[in-house]
Amino acid sequence: MAIIGGGPAGSMTAERLLRTGISGNSCSRNLQVTVFEEKLGWEKPCGGGLPAKAVVRYPFLLEACEPHAVIQEAELIAGSGEAVRFHLRAPIVIYSRSVLNSFLLRRAESRGARIVADHITSFHRDGGRWRLEGRNHAYHADFLVLASGARSSLRPLVASRFEPRDFMLTYGYYVPASDSLLRIQFLTDFEGYAWAFPRPDHLSIGICGKLNENSMAMLRERLHSFMQNFGYAAETAPIFSHLLPALNPNSWSKLELTGEGWAIAGDAGGLVDPLTGEGIYFAMRSGELLAESLLASAPQRYPARVGREFGRRLAMGARLAPRFYHGEFLGKPSTTRLVEFCSRSPAFMNLLQDLLEGAQSYTSLPRRAYQTFAKGALQMAAKAAGRKLSALNDLMKVRA
């Protein structure tokens, strides 16, 4: 078995395939798994943030993957500048990616995976097996897992190429500073956002915007203005830039995750939330689902398992994203309304916390948002009426 890419998707696929002690699966005892990774444990451009659902499913991340930052305070800022600061009900755990990637790769290695530091330039079928061309050597494998991330040029060898509108472009800095506040700012009529994620010894500050709508210069300008507003200094900070999958609804409807002797996991398969840009959890989980399908000798079941567990939710996110970022509600941008409602209505704040924790499905989100809005409007009207009544009472007392 050859796995190209030793990021969260590739490392988790290998680890799960070889977890014999736990699974007791005889097939995995004889399995040889090789992970090809060109940049072992590197600082992959990323925010590095993991929501509660990730650490609940993978408690070893909190217990053994050090150092990490546990962030409990967050601020959401609208394009208008209006902001809501709040205490996160469930903290967001943030890693430097070199720490997370090295940890996951070592974990796979400790189960028996062979880690090969090589760049795979190409592969093709060779007498019923795969022949992989590396920079250093050629390799052979019976089954091929492509976990080579968003920028991989290898995807078109087995599946169709994604289009520019299937990506976000990102740009950012690793700022040498410390903080305990996570910030996210929406920008007016812009599909994407700027963020500042505190890590143990620096901040990941960046911006993501649709690739087909933005140039790097446009993103840089918007990010600099965000940084200036909040006093983040960029002068000496290392720069990062990368692609982030954000598949459009059409691409979700024809997702290709497996075929004759191959499968794709993580970013290489487009498995990122198009609304939030969250992908680490889905990379890890897709690796696990793929490994379990392979251990059951049923790789063909892997796409349906992905669909059931989170694929449909992410596809719904793809439909919601343009409406959320470009839409209006009651005469103002939806993102501004979200910030306003969250700062005034506990029910809306509750909804936001569920979204951040990954506990709110996108399928029922519009219905819940409208119900919450109606409830919030009633609460605010009751409050306002209460205020008027008590003002009237005060007035009557003064007159009496």
Ligand X SMILES: Cc1cc2nc3c(=O)[nH]c(=O)nc-3n(C[C@H](O)[C@H](O)[C@H](O)COP(=O)(O)OP(=O)(O)OC[C@H]3O[C@@H](n4cnc5c(N)ncnc54)[C@H](O)[C@@H]3O)c2cc1C
Task: Evaluate whether 252 touches 318 at the Cβ level (below 8 Å).
Answer: yes
Q: Does 96 bind ligand X (CB under 6 A)?
A: no
Candidates 30-38, 123-131, 305-313, 373-381; binding stretch for ligand X (CB under 6 A) = 30-38
CB-nearer residue toward ligand X: 6 or 274 = 6
Least CB distance to ligand X at residue 2 (A): 10
Candidates 26-34, 278-286, 294-302, 385-393; binding stretch for ligand X (CB under 6 A) = 278-286
C-alpha dihedral over 147, 149, 153, 155, to 10 degrees?
Answer: 50
Give me 370's structure tokens: 């409208």
How many residues form the binding site for ligand X (CB under 6 A)?
A: 39
Return all residues near 372 (Cβ < 8 A) that are at least 6 apart: 341, 345, 347, 348, 350, 351
Query: DSSP secondary structure string, 60-91?
Result: HHHHHS-S-EEEEEEEEE-TTS-EEEEEEEEE
CB-nearer residue toward ligand X: 173 or 373 = 173
Spatial strand order of the sheet with 192-198 comes to: 49-50, 83-94, 69-77, 181-186, 192-198, 203-210, 167-175, 239-245
The single residue among 6, 91, 333, 376 that binds ligand X, judged by CB under 6 A, is 6
Q: Does 289 bind ligand X (CB under 6 A)?
A: no
Subset of residues 116 to 175 that bind ligand X, contact rule: CB under 6 A: 119-120, 147-149, 152, 154, 170, 172
CB-nearer residue toward ligand X: 34 or 379 = 34
Q: Does 272 bind ligand X (CB under 6 A)?
A: yes
Q: Does 104 bind ligand X (CB under 6 A)?
A: no
Least CB distance to ligand X at residue 230 (A): 18
Candidates 23-31, 46-54, 82-90, 387-395; binding stretch for ligand X (CB under 6 A) = 46-54
Least CB distance to ligand X at residue 132 (A): 9
DSSP 8-state symbol, 143: S
The single residue among 16, 44, 155, 199 that binds ligand X, judged by CB under 6 A, is 44
* Cα–Cα distance for residue pair 233/227, rounded to 1 Å: 7
The single residue among 77, 99, 244, 321 that binds ligand X, judged by CB under 6 A, is 244
Q: Does 358 bind ligand X (CB under 6 A)?
A: no
* Cα–Cα distance for residue pair 18/24, rounded to 1 Å: 10
CB-nearer residue toward ligand X: 29 or 39 = 39
Q: Which of 175, 334, 311 is nearest to 255 (CA)?
A: 311
The single residue among 49, 192, 209, 303 that binds ligand X, judged by CB under 6 A, is 49
Q: Does 38 bind ligand X (CB under 6 A)?
A: yes
What residues are paired with 329 via a beta bridge?
Answer: 332
Question: Would the CA dihedral through 261, 266, 269, 273 be positive or negative?
Answer: positive
Q: Does 114 bind ligand X (CB under 6 A)?
A: no
* Residue located via tokens 């501004």: 336
Q: Does 266 bind ligand X (CB under 6 A)?
A: yes
Spatial strand order of the sheet with 138-141 comes to: 120-126, 129-134, 138-141
The contact pattern for ligand X, residues 190-229, with x = CB under 6 A and - = no contact, is ----------------x-----------------------
Least CB distance to ligand X at residue 101 (A): 6
Report the phi/psi class of residue 192: left, alpha or beta, with left for phi > 0 and alpha for psi in -120 to 50.
Answer: left
* Residue located via tokens 């009557």: 396
Which residues in 298-317 are b (16+ Cβ under 10 Å) and which e?
ebebbbebbbeebbebbbbb
Q: Does 46 bind ligand X (CB under 6 A)?
A: yes
Q: Does 280 bind ligand X (CB under 6 A)?
A: yes
Q: Does 47 bind ligand X (CB under 6 A)?
A: yes
CB-nearer residue toward ligand X: 5 or 333 = 5
The single residue among 166, 179, 267, 340 that binds ligand X, judged by CB under 6 A, is 267
Least CB distance to ligand X at residue 182 (A): 10
Q: Which of 83, 99, 81 is nearest to 41 (CA)?
A: 99
Residue ranges binding ligand X (CB under 6 A): 4-10, 36-39, 44-49, 119-120, 147-149, 152, 154, 170, 172, 206, 242, 244, 266-268, 272, 277-281, 283
